[in-house]
Structure 1
């Protein structure tokens, strides 16, 4: 495998991880005075991820797997991997992620509330860091297979990571008023993405073929859909006047334009 391809794949993965740092900054710049900001950002991220998953990533997965397993078998494997990604995230959320859909919009001054919010932010940062490992490997392997596909996956996950960065940094900032700590937690969580890419490639570099690529892509599509439906869309509905829904459609539109012209 050419060194240039490896470098491009790593850079895309790194940029997607750094997007969490951008979200970390927005967590205490944009959402402090306007609760609709968070709803808009997560709605937009949901639209990007859903469109990319169903229009680009899952079809690419099926195409790759059908080359190795012609006919219905390839589609069945891709579909199984897709739902496997959903099950993986369901289990991860159940055992790792705090239940915090409503907590983004209830900021109080009591020490007990602040302590609870701070714990939530830290737990979310740790959980996100864990689930960023397969995301990083997904971007990396997608870019190795096809640079265009890698860019679309990286853009989708990067936009998602901005929203996730807000979710990590906002509660920590509101609980501690410490911008450095809030930003640092979001950025460190994002850096698990390029780390996951390197570790995954090191472990599987001798086995990467169309079947593995297709399988990984289908899992990623499942992860993106689950995160959108379970985390992003419910959070987006917290805003007023359907702003989250409008942002979701805007995210789909932007992703469509991206896939057409990039």
Structure 2
């Protein structure tokens, strides 16, 4: 269980990488970002459909997959999608995690004199950016809770599956850190505030793991475990299709996204065969 928690902590901690990039004022290479997000989506989709969902069906069938177990696994899969979709709808679209605010140009701290109306407009912009960054941080924290639990459950069930899941979610969390750090840095001018606020959103993942375990630990066996595995597969599929791929496509590197998606599936397939 300690290993599962540490893996979840690593996945959430990747948000700090994005936060660091944001406060340092560095942009993200479009091809690199598209490739990373596409690779993450490929890994998560392959694991969901080829590992977690079939394993959930097998557990629900009592060790030998049958029609009844498969039906319950499919039901749990779509329940998982429905739950994460409801959480996603509770987040205003203007601050939704897949609206990648990290594309905004960084502030260079110019100190030239400007007209009063320009200064007033700048102050209004800074206030709006601070509000946006803060609300985005809260939204991401709420959003990361089920991701943390999904990572934790995958690690409990199968470490060889959990490691690529951790890598995929970690890559996904880097632009999330940017999404918070960039507007907060521009609004406050403080690198430390921007970094720590963005980094704290990643802590929601290990918190989600702990809360999920405390609430659901009696269920982490038998048929309930099978249903949870299938539900986690649904969560991962939704995250991939609703967040990773749209964010990757926003870079304008469509072919890079597709090739990376396929590469992620291939890497995951080879990894599972070897392990």
TM-score of the superposed pair, with normalisation by structure 1: 0.81
Counterpart pick for 1:154 among 130, 153, 166: 166
Name the residue aligned to 2:44.
49
Q: CA deviation at 1:60?
A: 2.0
Counterpart secondary structure, 1:99: helix
Q: CA deviation at 1:171?
A: 3.5
Q: CA deviation at 1:112?
A: 4.0
The answer to whether residue 262 in structure 2 is matched with residue 249 in structure 1 is yes
* CA distance in 2 between partners of 1:102 and 1:194 (Å): 23
Kindly tell me: are residues 39 and 121 of structure 1, through their superposed partners in 2, closer, same or farther at Cα, counting changes over 3 Å? Answer: farther
* CA distance in 1 between partners of 2:266 and 2:175 (Å): 18
Structure 1 runs not aligned, ≥5 long:
1-5
Q: CA RMSD of the aligned region, Å?
A: 3.0
* Contact 1:40 1:239 (C-alpha < 8 Å) held by counterparts: no
Please say which structure displays the higher CA radius of gyration: 2
- What are the Cα deviations for residues 181-226 of structure 1, in whole angstroms up to 9, with x where unaligned? 2322232111122222222222232332132222222222212211
- Residues 1-262 of structure 1 mapped to structure 2, 5 A cutoff: 6-28=1-23, 32=27, 34-67=29-62, 71-99=66-94, 101=99, 103-105=101-103, 107=105, 110-242=122-254, 243-262=256-275
TM-score of the superposed pair, with normalisation by structure 2: 0.78
* CA distance in 2 between partners of 1:106 and 1:137 (Å): 31
* CA distance in 2 between partners of 1:10 and 1:152 (Å): 15
- What are the Cα deviations for residues 125-155 of structure 1, in whole angstroms up to 9, with x where unaligned? 2222223222222322332233223334333
Number of residue pairs matched? 257
